[in-house]
């Protein structure tokens, strides 16, 4: 996987792949709804996005850019 193209403060939409959705019975229990737009609060290891209130931890490629900070 390449380096995350997003920055803290960018708005992204949670658009998980069919493969990712298939791995979890209830993917939304991780704090995000499919299609939800959120502001990136933290990026860990150049890959994983976090959004506050314990939500996040998915790799950046499970999101689509909505608006740059």
Domain coordinates in residue numbering, the chain: 11-67
pLDDT digits (tens, 9 = 90+) for 12-58: 999 999 998 888 878 888 888 999 999 999 999 999 999 987 788 88
Distances (CA, A) of 3 to 49, 56, 66: 12, 17, 18
Is the whole model's pTM more than 0.85, yes or no? yes
Query: What span, in angstroms and rounded, lies between the C-alpha atoms of 33 and 13?
Result: 9
């Amino acid at each position: 996987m390449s380096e995350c193209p997003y920055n803290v403060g960018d708005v992204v939409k949670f658009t998980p792949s069919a493969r990712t959705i298939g791995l979890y019975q209830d993917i939304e229990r991780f704090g995000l709804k499919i299609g939800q737009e959120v502001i990136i609060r933290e990026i860990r290891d150049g890959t994983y996005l976090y959004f506050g209130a314990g939500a996040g931890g998915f790799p950046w490629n499970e999101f689509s850019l909505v608006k740059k900070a």
